[in-house]
Amino acid sequence: MPELPEVEVTRLSFADRIQGAKIQNVALGKPLRWPLGCNTEQLRGLRVKCVTRRGKYLLIELSPSILILHLGMSGSLRFEGTKSPVTQKLHDHFVMQTDLGTLTLNDPRRFGAVVYADDFNSPMLHKLLGKLGVEPLTDSFSPELLYRALKGRHLSIKQALLGGQIVVGVGNIYASEALFLAKIRPTRSSSTITKVQSLRLFEAIRSVLTRAIEVGGSTLQNFSNAMGESGYFQLESYVYARAGEPCKTCNTKIKQVVQAQRSTFYCPMCQS
C-alpha cells in the first residue's frame, strides 16, 4: 500500500502541472471502494485551485468543491500532457481530462477511491479525515505529544504508530525503519516508552519520512509517481524486507514477525 512518502511524492509530481486547469471531461471505469458521490457532469468547467495532502489522502481543491483521492492498496496516478492521446486503459477507473492534461487513477484491486465533497465542512470530508492524527512533518508533531499519546495506549508500539490516531502516514515500511533507528523493539508495549526513547522515535520518524520523500518513496512492486518514476528508498532499508540478512549495524540476522497480519522486521540486538 502506498504510504505517506509515496502519496506526497505523487502529489509533488503533478500538483504544479495541474494547478489552474479547467476540467473538460471525467470518465469512470469499474466501481472503486466508494462511489464518486456526484454526477460527472457536475465537474465539467470547474478549475483546479491546488492539490494538497492529509495523511494518505490527496485533496484536489476545485472552485468551489473538493475531490478526495485515496490510492488504496495498489492504486497509482498518471498525469499526461495535452499532447498525449486520451485513452482509458485496463484498470483506469477515474480519468479526468483538463485543458492542461489528463489525470488518471489506475487501480487493479479497486480499493482506492475518488470522492466528491461540496466543501471543507462536508460530512464526507469529516468522516474520512476527522479522526486522523497530526502530520509528522509539521510543527504540530512534537516529542511531548508522541510521548503522552504512546503512554496512554496498551498495545505494541508499532501498532500504535500504524493506527493513525497519534500521527498519520507512518505505515508499515517506515514504522519498522523508524523503530530501528530509535533502537526500540516493535513488539514492545507503547505504555513503557520513556521520554528519551520518545525523543529518539520522534527524530527517527521525521528523518525516515523526509529521506523517503527525497528519494521518491519505496517501489516494492509497481509504485510510480504521476510521471511514471519509481522510488528508491527500499534500497536504503535497514530492516524492512531484510529477514535473515545481517544487520547493517551489528551483523546480527534481521528477524521477521507478524503483527496484526503485517510483517514486521527488526534487529534483536540493536532494538530492545
262 belongs to the catalytic site: yes
**Identified catalytic residue from 3, 8, 80, 177:** 3
**Identified catalytic residue from 47, 54, 153, 262:** 262
Question: Cα angle at 41 between 35 and 47, to 5 degrees?
Answer: 100
* Residue 104, H or E segment: strand 101-106
Catalogue the E-assigned strands of 36-91. 47-54, 57-63, 66-70, 76-80
The cell for 234 is 527500499
CA distance 14 to 137: 20
Phi, psi of 167 (to 5 degrees): -140, 140
Residue pair 7/212 in contact (Cβ under 8 Å)? The answer is: no
2 belongs to the catalytic site: yes
The DSSP code for 247 is P
**Identified catalytic residue from 11, 17, 56, 200:** 56
Q: What is the DSSP string of 32-44?
A: -SS---S-GGGGT
Nearest to 271 by CA among 181, 159, 206: 181
149-177 in b/e burial notation, b at 16+ Cβ within 10 A?
bbeebeebbbbbbbbbebbbbbbbbbbbb
Residue 212 neighbours by CB distance under 10 Å? 25
144 belongs to the catalytic site: no
Place of cell 499532447: 83
- Residues designated catalytic: 2-3, 56, 262
